[in-house]
Structure 1
């Protein structure tokens, strides 16, 4: 009778021991496949465009009965800068690199006044043609994110907003039978 109990106890201990040896390795493998390093990364979110004049509007009437190409040579009267409102000591140059690297836009950091820019405009006969030199500015919000251990993403906050000059010079134009205002 003692031999039967000893045999049962030994068998139970062997099964229990084998079970304890396999369980931790299965848990460790599962945790290793779901663990991600806590990397920090930045996301760029773009908003719509706005336009700002950098010179006076020029225009005239095409007195001919046929279409004509009118050329305008305009001098810029205002200088404009890309703006950066930031937190955490990040620089304008860093923000420009982030935006250019993560979008299809090139950013002009500043423009100067006193520069001559030219535009041509096809104006139908008997119509007016007007043009205004402008910049196109877009707003880019740079967000800070971090990967989580479960391979998700956690939003850490906005680090700044770049008001980037994305087109320079940009020409607003209009043609009409009477005086018109260039759009956009």
Structure 2
């Protein structure tokens, strides 16, 4: 039995010794053709619109026997501006440029007070028709991202929030048998 143990020990030592003779191989992890450069890019997230009045509501009762197209010439009573709330940086022009480049929206930077705007509305017989000039405003968050070496992406932060005017003038309208409030 002792010779079996000695033979097993000798065989194990030879096996370990032979393993030490083999040259170790090293694998270096270097970026290859599939690695992505650490490019920085911007993403724009858009939110639902809100509406703000820029003039008075006008309306009329159509006392005629048929529908009538009523035209309203309204003067804007307030001015509105697109605003930029910077967090990581950038200017208003940077925010507007990113939103216009990455979405289908055109941004109006500022509206003026005292401008005459016109709207027509079809008012059925024996009904009231009302209209109000407004702006449509949307919030856009501009995020800063970076590609990683393994072709993923990581968020670096928020550049800022643009509260942009996306429609001007926008007209809210309503028609009804009694006085109504134009919506949205």
Q: What's the TM-score once normalised by structure 2's chain length?
A: 0.84
- CA shift for structure 1 position 88: 3.4
Q: Which residue of 1 aligns with 2:153?
A: 153
CA distance in 2 between counterparts of 1:139 and 1:48 reads: 8
Q: Which residue of 1 aligns with 2:83?
A: 83
- CA shift for structure 1 position 158: 1.1
For residues 41-92 of structure 1, the C-alpha deviation after alignment (integer angstroms, 9 at most, x for no partner) is 1000000000000000000100101100000000000000001100233100
Q: Which residue of 2 aligns with 1:180?
A: 180
Q: Which residue of 2 aligns with 1:47?
A: 47
Aligned residues of 2:40 and 2:144 also touching (Cα < 8 A): yes
What is the number of equivalent residue pairs in this alignment?
166
- CA shift for structure 1 position 34: 3.6
For residues 67-118 of structure 1, the C-alpha deviation after alignment (integer angstroms, 9 at most, x for no partner) is 0000000000000000110023310001100000000000000000000000
CA distance in 1 between counterparts of 2:112 and 2:156 reads: 37
Radius of gyration: which is bigger? 2
- CA shift for structure 1 position 159: 1.2
Q: Which residue of 1 aligns with 2:5?
A: none
CA distance in 2 between counterparts of 1:59 and 1:83 reads: 32
**Off by >3 Å, runs of 4+ in structure 1:** none
Q: Which runs of 5+ in 2 are unaligned?
A: 1-17
Q: Which runs of 5+ in 1 are unaligned?
A: 1-11
Aligned residues of 2:37 and 2:149 also touching (Cα < 8 A): yes
**Superposition RMSD in Å:** 1.9
| 1:158-169 paired onto structure 2 within 5 Å | 158-169=158-169
More helix by share: 1
Q: Which residue of 1 aligns with 2:144?
A: 144
For residues 16-45 of structure 1, the C-alpha deviation after alignment (integer angstroms, 9 at most, x for no partner) is 67x95xx759x65xx403421111110000
Q: Which residue of 2 aligns with 1:5?
A: none
Q: What's the TM-score once normalised by structure 1's chain length?
A: 0.84
User: Could you say what secondary structure the match of 1:97 adopts?
Assistant: helix
- CA shift for structure 1 position 168: 0.2
User: Could you say what secondary structure the match of 2:33 adopts?
Assistant: helix
